[in-house]
Amino acid sequence: MKRKTAALIPLFAGKTCREGCHGSISRLALHRFPPCFFLQMFKCSNVPLFDCFPVPSVLASRGKTRIFTLIELLIVIAIIVILAGMLLPALSKARDKAKSISCVNNMKQLYFAVSMYCDDYKTRRIPSHLKACGYAPDGYAASDYWHVLLIMTGYVPPAPGCRAGETAPNITPKLLTCPAWKGVLNNGQYKRGWGYNQSTDYGINGYLKAYYPDRPNQNHLPNEELKFPEKTVYFGDRQMDIFSVYDWDALRLERHIGTANFVYLSGSVRSLTRNQIPFWISGESRGTYSQAAYTYFWRNGDSGSYRPWDR
């Protein structure tokens, strides 16, 4: 202890600092100068004071700490912006993909609901538009519209705020809701149509329902047996019904990153790109196949035979 005390005497007696500082420190100076002054003096002294008196690391490094310059701050911000620009598109694609997967799951549940209805009512497919086309003048089912029929009979739970017995539900049930579709933009607001149109985001294959009263060969009735069900779509990404004459270029872009989801008569669900969907808009001579309606994909009954479509 005597050696350590003796080592302090030369410093306060005016020893030369190894950094080129000169002078002596009196007791009066101890009261006039702040502690940081003496800390700096300690650091440039020939005497190893930090070996004698331990100093907290925070104080020891205080003299080395400095604030970011404006240029350095701008560089950090620029790097963050660049990284955000790289990550946001990937996150957006992941979110859209998740919505498409949720839509596929809804279609699978829709197929199960329809299958249970058909098993209970002894029919091959769910009836639609039979009364409107004169096939069932006295009424064949609780509703002439397939989705309303499923809600009224309890195979699809009604939306919150609606009752199962409503003939024109105007809110979409969760099972019939496509999570990627907002609706149609009208006067600054997205709307899902009117009346019972609002109660489904999915549509039935228009060639599988009784739709044309004047063309009975084109109507496939619910109990008709159809060969190759794995080739024909049952429901798809559009409200109420789906047809080969619709603009699938626009419909694909409304929902799932350029694809559209379909469930087939066999129960399989697929996300199809443009080249995999046979469609043709005759007025514009635009589409993927001019004879799209007469493929197994749609199964227009007028032709009597169907063209293959295995894309």
DSSP string, 58-79: HHHHHTT--PPPHHHHHHHHHH
Both 53 and 106 in a single domain? no
Average pLDDT over residues 217-230: 83
Q: Are residues 100 and 178 in the same domain?
A: yes
pLDDT at position 167 over 90:
no
Does residue 311 fall inside a structural domain?
no
Q: In 10 A of CB 230, how many CB atoms?
A: 10
- Give the pLDDT score at 224: 87
Q: How high does pLDDT run on average in the chain?
A: 79
Question: What is the domain range of residue 120?
Answer: 84-294
Residues 140 and 252 in one domain: yes
Query: What is the average per-residue pLDDT within 247-273?
Result: 93
**Is 289 domain-assigned?**
yes
pLDDT at 170 over 80: yes
What burial letters (b/e) apply to 13-35, b meaning 16+ CB within 10 Å?
A: eebeeeeeeeeeeeeeeeeeeee
Please indicate, yes or no, whether residues 174 and 280 belong to a single structural domain of this protein. yes
- Whether the CB-CB separation of 269 and 263 falls below 8 Å is answered with yes
Q: Answer yes or no: is pLDDT of 23 > 50.
A: no
How many CA atoms does the CB half-sphere of 229 hold within 13 Å?
16
Residues 125 and 42 in one domain: no
- Judged against a pLDDT cut of 50, whether residue 281 lies above it is answered with yes
Strands 240-242 vs 203-205: parallel, antiparallel or unpaired: parallel
> Does position 264 have pLDDT exceeding 50, yes or no?
yes
Residue with tokens 């800390």: 39
Q: Taking 70 as the threshold, does the pLDDT of residue 11 lie above it? A: no
pLDDT at position 15: 44
191 and 283 part of one domain: yes
Same domain? 163 vs 255 = yes
**Global confidence as pTM:** 0.70
**Residue 237 in contact with residue 261, Cβ under 8 Å?**
yes
Question: Comparing 24 with 175, which gets the higher pLDDT?
Answer: 175
In the predicted model, what is the mean pLDDT of residues 49-57? 50
Same domain, 57 and 137: no
Is the pLDDT score of 248 beyond 50? yes
CB 129: neighbour CB atoms within 10 A?
Answer: 20
Side-chain half-sphere of 97: how many Cα atoms within 13 Å? Answer: 6
224 φ, ψ to 5°?
-70, 130
| Residue 139 lies inside a defined structural domain of this protein | yes
Looking at the chain, the whole-number percentage of residues with pLDDT higher than 70 is: 73
Number of domains in the chain: 2
Q: Supply the DSSP symbol for 190.
A: E
For residue 170, the tally of other CB atoms under 10 A from its CB is 16
What span, in angstroms and rounded, lies between the C-alpha atoms of 186 and 175? 25
Judge whether 168 and 195 are in contact, CB under 8 Å.
Answer: yes
Q: Are 35 and 142 in the same domain?
A: no
Q: Which two tokens stand for residue 147?
A: 């989705």
Predicted local confidence at residue 268, as pLDDT: 96
Query: At 28, is the pLDDT very low, low, confident or very high (cuts 50, 70, 90)?
Result: very low
